[in-house]
Amino acid sequence: AKALALTSDNTLVDDFLRCLLTPAEIADIAGRWALVKALRNKIPQREIAKDLGISLCKITRGSRELKKSDSAFARIFAELIDNTANSGENAK
């Protein structure tokens, strides 16, 4: 985590993760991130399951994580919103 937090070079982070993870692991992480974004955007769980091909068990787990008071997902979304509001980009 510290290695990633130390750089603001998105290309370096991307290259680092591609060296560290297999293509399947990258796809799994991307799918989980898509799941959490969909939950945050209030998309129904069954629709997410259909659209992303993810089990309801994984979706429920993601939903529980997002609802925790100390949720890292919620904190990341808050930072993305703050950063994108300042730069004019869209966090969705």
Question: Per residue in 23-50, pLDDT tens?
Answer: 999 999 999 999 999 999 999 999 999 9
3-state class (DSSP) for residue 65:
helix
Measured CA to CA, the distance from residue 78 to residue 86 in angstroms comes to 12
**At CB < 8 A and 24+ separation, what contacts does 21-28 make?**
none
Percent of the chain with pLDDT over 70: 89
The whole-angstrom distance between residue 70's C-alpha and the CA centroid of its chain comes to 16
pLDDT recorded at residue 89: 52
Identify the band that residue 52 occupies on the pLDDT scale cut at 50, 70 and 90: very high
Mean pLDDT, rounded, of the chain: 88
Supply 29's token pair.
Answer: 């992480």
| Degrees to nearest 5, angle at CA 90 with 88 and 92 | 165
Total residue count of the chain as it appears in this document: 92
